[in-house]
Amino acid sequence: MKIGNVSSLLVAFLFLSSASHVFGDQSTDDAIIDATIELARSQLGDVERLDSIKSITFEGSLLYSSGDSGTIDMIYQKPMHQKLVAVINDNKEVSALDDTEGWISYYKVGIDQSLGMEIFDATRVLMMQAAVREALGFYKRPTHRGGRVTYDGRETVKDVDCVVLIYHHGEGLGYVRYFDAATGKLIKTVDAKGVEYFEEGEIMVEGVRFPKKLVTTFSTALGPQTMEFTYSKITLDKKYNRSVFKIPSLVE
């Protein structure tokens, strides 16, 4: 299986409208949103610690339902940096965000010379910026570019009564999260392509709770497929030089 969809799955966001709540009671919705976010953040750890985190490094493995497998490393760093390295079989993909510039490069494992590189357009850069804010925001309301959260009612997911919140990031970017109404635990996330993300297990790192595994389901020409990200190590607040994220030809 090609790995070009790995980074797109990780940063794909849902284009949504909040029109369903135009006639709702906004003050009631805001109270539900605030209470849900507060409960969800408390599930992850001390809120002061969450807000103090400057970077997150994920290391782990990938497994497709087709049987293909590999490794993945991800970095999110404030204020606006991201890098992903995915290896499947003998193919390697490196993508990164350096503030307002994003790029992706393709390699064969064991060969340093890139097989090709693409500079991301403005839309893809905005998607990656939103991903950085969300990874380091820990469910907080987005505020950049008119970002906001809207309440989309209740829904049962896997026999769990969930509060449904839509996170909007401006420019038509956003996604949907389903939180357990009783505990605040995240049950499901859905992106623009209808891809569903479920978290399994947990890893505690310096008092902060992260999922052990992220399972996604998406449609292909061959039918539904799944992809699992299993994290073996998560590191907080490692400082990366900006050159790590720069377009390769611009690194001195």
pTM given for the model = 0.85
What pLDDT band is residue 217 in, cutting at 50, 70 and 90?
confident
Over the chain, what HEC string results? Answer: CCCHHHHHHHHCCCCCCCHHHCCCCHHHHHHHHHHHHHHHHHHHCCHHHHHHCCEEEEEEEEEECCCCEEEEEEEEECCCEEEEEEEECCEEEEEEEECCEEEEEEEECCCCCCCEEEECCHHHHHHHHHHHHHHHHCCCCCCHHHCEEEEEEEEEECCEEEEEEEEECCCCCEEEEEEECCCCCEEEEECCCCCEEEEECCEEECCEEECCEEEEEEEECCEEEEEEEEEEEEEECCCCCHHHCCCHHHCC
Poorest-confidence range of 128-137, 179-188, 229-238?
128-137
Structure-model confidence comparison of residues 210 and 112, the more confident one: 210
* Percentage of the chain modeled with pLDDT above 90: 67
The pLDDT score that the predictor gives to residue 16 is 33
Domains annotated for the chain, with CATH where assigned, are 4-250 (2.50.20)
Q: Please, which pLDDT band fits residue 202 given cuts at 50, 70 and 90? A: very high
State yes or no: cis peptide before 79, omega within 30 of 0: yes
